[in-house]
Structure 1
C-alpha cells in the first residue's frame, strides 16, 4: 500500500492556523510545506522523540487512528531529524501518534520530512505539539515544563513565554510535582483532577495530603468541597487549643488544693467524670515540702 497517495481524513493531520502561528513565532517548522521533500522511511528506522513528554498513549485512540490509516493513508508526513548517536536512525520531532498508529496498521513505511534541529528545539517542539494538538495529562505537562527548565536552564517565565502560556499556568502546574507520588499517580490516571490536586497543596500540614486525597476520591468530592475541607482543616490547626471548661465544684477543689499545698494546681475534668491533677513544684526541696504536707514519707 502506498500511503502517501491516499487521501487523508485524519483529524491528527489537520493543523490549526493558531498552532502554525505559535510554532512560527518560535522559529520551528512543525509541519510539512509544499516545498519540502517527502521521503518514505522504514518505520523500523524511526525512534520516538527522546524528549517526548507524553508517557501514556491511549490504545483505543491509536487503534482508531490505525484503522483510519489503513482506509485513507497519511497525507501529512511526520517530521524527523537524524539521530545524533545512531546511524541510519531518525528521531521524531512531530507526529509520534501517526508513527505508532502506522505500526499498528502494519505499514512498513511512513512519509516523513527530515529536518535539522538541536535538542532544545526538539524538546520545545514536542511540548508544544502535545499541548496544542492533544492535551497532556497534568502530571505529564508538569514534567515537561520541569524538563525544559532543568535541561535548557530556563525560568518559569521563560518557559511560559516560549510556549505561549501564562506564567501562573506554568507555576501552578509544576507545583503538582510536590504532591506525594501516589497522589501524582491518581492525577495521572484521572482519579483526581488537576483542580483537586492544586487545592490539596493548600493544606498547611503536608503530611495530611495523602489521607485527604483518599477521602476526596472515596467521597467523590468536587473541587469546591475540597476547598471547604482544606479551609476547615487549616483553621482547626491554626486555632489555639483551649482548655475545656470545668465546673464550679472542680474549680473549688483546685483552689483548695492550691491553698493547702501552697503551689499551682491544674485540674482537667471530662464529661465522663475522669480527669487528672497537676501539681507544680519549683525544686527538689519544694517537692519534699509538698510530700510532707501530703503526709508521704518515702523513707518509711
Structure 2
C-alpha cells in the first residue's frame, strides 16, 4: 500500500506560533509610502490634471503639511501600482519635489476600481462637462458588468438585484436624474474639437447634446460651417441639424445656411464698441467714464420723456 504522506499539508512554524490577532492585522489595510515613480495613472482616466492656480496651492500645502489623505492604489501585473484615486495629489507631490506619497494598497478588479475612481473624483467642485460625461459612462459600464447575472429573472443586462437599472444607480449616487446622466453620456459621442468647445463654454450643454446625434463626418463639416459663419449653434439650430442628419440632408451648404441666421437674442441685442462712441468723448476719458456718461444721458432722456407723457 502506497504512503499518502506526500498529500499531507504541514503547518508552517510561523503559522503555528502566530496569533489570531496578528493574522487579522496582516489583512488590514495599511498606509505605506510608495515612490512616485512606481505610481501609474488609471487607464482611461477621464479627469484632467492641470497645473493651474488650484494645483499650485495644493502643491504648496503638500510641501508644508504633506499629503493628509492617502491615495488608493492597486497592484499592477507589470509591476508598480495603478492609481485609483489621488492623481492630483501625485502631481502636487511632484511639484513639491517629494519622492514618495502615502497610499492605501487594495486588491481591486477593474469594475470595482473604476467605480471608486469615478466616485472619488465626482466629489470635486469644478468638473468639466467632458469629465463628467466620460466618468458617468465608465461607471455605468462597470455597474452593468457587475449586474450581468444569468440567474436574474430580468433579461436586460444592467438590472441589479434590487430592481434598479444601472443608469438609475449612477444617477442616485451622483445626486442627479436618470435623464441627465444619459444626456451627459451623449456628449461622449462628440468629436474632441466640439467637446472641447463645450468645456470652454463656447457651445452650451443643451445644443451640444443635440449635436451629439450628428455623424462624426457631419460634426467635422459643422466645424467648417461654424468657422465660415463665425457662429455657434443655438438649441433650435442644433435640433434642426439633428433632424437634417436623420433625414440624410446634413450638408455643408445646409449647415452654413443655418449658422448664418441671426439668433433671436442677437436681434434684441445692442452693442456699442469703444471705436463707435469714443469720438463723442474727450480723448482722456476711460471706458468707465464713457459708460457712466452714457447712462446719465439715458436716464435724463428717459426722465424728460416720462414728464412729457404725463402732461
TM-score by length of 2: 0.52
Q: Greater RCO between the two (CA within 8 Å, min separation 6)?
A: 1
* Residues 56 and 92, structure 2, Cα contact 8 Å, conserved in 1: yes
Alignment-derived partner of residue 172 in structure 1: 183
> Using a 3 Å threshold, how does the CA distance of structure 1 residues 180 and 77 change in structure 2: closer, same or farther?
closer
> How far has the Cα of 1:207 moved from its partner?
4.4
> How far has the Cα of 1:228 moved from its partner?
4.5
2:30 paired residue among 26, 33, 37: 37
Aligned length: 196
> Using a 3 Å threshold, how does the CA distance of structure 1 residues 93 and 179 change in structure 2: closer, same or farther?
closer
Q: Does 1:72 align with 2:65?
A: yes
Partner of 2:123: helix, strand, or coil? Answer: helix
Q: Distance in 2 between matches of 1:179 and 1:50?
A: 21
Partner of 1:59: helix, strand, or coil? Answer: coil
Q: Does 1:124 align with 2:115?
A: yes
* Residues 180 and 210, structure 1, Cα contact 8 Å, conserved in 2: no
> How far has the Cα of 1:191 moved from its partner?
3.0
Q: Distance in 1 between matches of 2:69 and 2:183?
A: 35
Alignment-derived partner of residue 226 in structure 2: 214
Partner of 1:132: helix, strand, or coil? Answer: coil
What is the RMSD computed on CA atoms of the aligned residues? 3.8
* Residues 187 and 195, structure 2, Cα contact 8 Å, conserved in 1: yes
Q: Deviations over 1:187-207 (max 9, x none)?
A: 24443232341254589xx94
- Higher deviation after alignment, 143-152 or 103-112: 143-152
> How far has the Cα of 1:148 moved from its partner?
3.9
Alignment-derived partner of residue 51 in structure 2: 59
Partner of 2:116: helix, strand, or coil? Answer: helix
Q: Give structure 1 stretches of 5+ with no counterpart.
A: 1-34, 238-300
Partner of 2:43: helix, strand, or coil? Answer: coil
Q: Distance in 2 between matches of 1:168 and 1:212?
A: 31
Counterparts of 1:71-110 in structure 2 under 5 Å? 71-83=64-76, 85-87=77-79, 89-110=80-101
* Residues 142 and 176, structure 1, Cα contact 8 Å, conserved in 2: yes
> How far has the Cα of 1:145 moved from its partner?
3.0
Bigger radius of gyration, 1 or 2?
1
